[in-house]
Structure formats: C-alpha cells, structure tokens
Amino acid sequence: MVSAEESARPGAARATDQYGRVLLMLLAILWLAMFLEESQLARVLVGSGVIVVVVWTFRATGVIKRTMRTTLLGAVALGALVAWGGFTDSSGVVAVIAFASAAALALGVLALVRRIFERPRIGLPEIVAALTAYVQIAFACAFLFRGAAELLDGDFFNNGIEGQASDFFYFSMVTITTLGYGDLSPATSIGRSLAMTEALLGQIFLIVLVAYLVGMLGSSRTTIGRES
C-alpha cells in the first residue's frame, strides 16, 4: 500500500531525507575555502565539493530516475569544467565554473524547499533541510560574486581588493546574515545589486520559512498538492 506522501510526487518515495551530511559537507567546503590559498588546486577541491553537495541534495530530496541521471550527467559536465579550471587561470573559464556552480546550488535549494513543503509533519530533518538550503543560498551567491568579479574590469571590492575565494565566501556569509562588518564592500553597482539581493533573500528565508518551520515543529499540516 503506497502512502499518500509517497504517491504525491513521482520520486518522493526515493528520498533519503539525509540532510545532515549535506550541511556538514557545505561547512567543510567553507572551511577549506577559507584556509586554502588561492590556487588552481583549491578551485578544483572546492568545485569537486560543490558537485558532491548537489548530487547528495538531489538524492536526499528524492527525484525520479530520469532526473537523477540528468543530475549525474550535469555533475560530470561540471566536473570536466572544474578539472579544466585546474590547468588554467583564464578569467572566462573561472567565471563559467562559478556561474555553473551557482546555478547547480540554486537548483539544490529549490529541491530542498519543495521537499520541505511536501512533508505532512515538520520534524528535525525538515529544519536541517531549511538550514542546508540557507547555507546553499550563501554559497550560490559567493559563486555569483566570483563570476562577476572575473568578468568586471577593476577590483570587485573597495580599497583595491580584487578578491579571492576566501573573500567571496566570507563576504557572502556576512551579507546573508546582515552582520555588515564593513571590512569588505562591493565597489561596483553589479556587486552592490547582488549583495542587496542576497541580503533580502536571506532575511526572507529566515523570517518566513525557517521561523514557520520552527513554529510548526512536531505538528501536522496540509502538504502541497498532488502532481498531475
């Protein structure tokens, strides 16, 4: 007998709902990026970590086999780009890798949010999924900053700071949490626009989604409608 939850969406029954390891992997990538010097090897390690995060995210949220195959093919393509980035410092290549990583992480966020809202009861896994999505938003924005920096003339940050991986991750985390230390600030209108967008997304995500989930912890609720 197939439960209503499992039949609500094709692939939902395949979900593992194991978000803790995805969150831990994100934190490991963050620390790796913060302490490694900017280099081709560092880009390969960080990019490889992102690929693992995206694949684990889709597996945890449950997708149909065809979508999972597409995800794996996309992971292979991104892996090829990341490997290419290990042999070149071309701004164009680095920008493509950054934007592709941002897009993959954004799709992971959408998958996480969808999975949260199709669950009939909010528990600890759903809270962890929301926190994982929040961190993935910050990661996606960090890659957007990096990609924009590679394509823009001049320094991305004020005070003559061009920016490297640790700077973009740090700036993204500070922006999404609205800490506003002020030691790094975007020097261009594109950078400022991206930063404002991230700050708004981060606050909306925390105030609306995470607060709602915490308030509903342990409670049953109406799930999203059945897919046709």
Confidence of residue 37 (pLDDT cuts 50, 70, 90): confident
pLDDT on residue 6: 47
Q: Which two tokens stand for residue 30?
A: 């963050």
65 Ramachandran zone, left/alpha/beta (phi>0; psi -120 to 50): alpha
184-207 pLDDT, tens digit each: 999 999 999 999 999 999 999 988
Phi, psi of 226 (to 5 degrees): -70, 140
**Residue 3 pLDDT exceeds 80:** no
The reported pTM is 0.90
Q: Which residue, among 205, 75, 207, has the nearest Cα to 136 in the 3D structure? A: 205
Confidence of residue 220 (pLDDT cuts 50, 70, 90): low
Average pLDDT over residues 12-25: 91
pLDDT on residue 223: 56
In the chain, what percentage of residues exceed pLDDT 90? 61
Q: Position 103: which residue type?
A: A
**Residue 170 pLDDT exceeds 80:** yes
Half-sphere exposure of 158 (CA within 13 A, CB side): 8
Q: How far apart are CA 34 and CA 14, in angstroms?
A: 35
Average pLDDT, the chain: 88
- The strand pairing partners of 121, in sequence order, are 220
139-159 pLDDT, tens digit each: 999 999 999 999 988 889 998
Query: With contact defined as beta carbons under 8 Å apart, do 187 and 158 qualify?
Result: yes
pLDDT on residue 1: 34
Q: How far apart are CA 194 and CA 20, in angstroms?
A: 28
Residue-wise burial string across 38-63, b where 16 or more C-beta atoms lie within 10 A, e elsewhere = eeeebbbbbbbbbbebbbbbbbbbbb
pLDDT on residue 38: 82
More confident site: 142 or 220: 142
Q: Position 63: which residue type?
A: V
Q: Which residue, among 195, 191, 169, has the nearest Cα to 46 in the 3D structure? A: 169
Domain-wise residue ranges, the chain: 8-215
pLDDT on residue 15: 87
Half-sphere exposure of 200 (CA within 13 A, CB side): 6
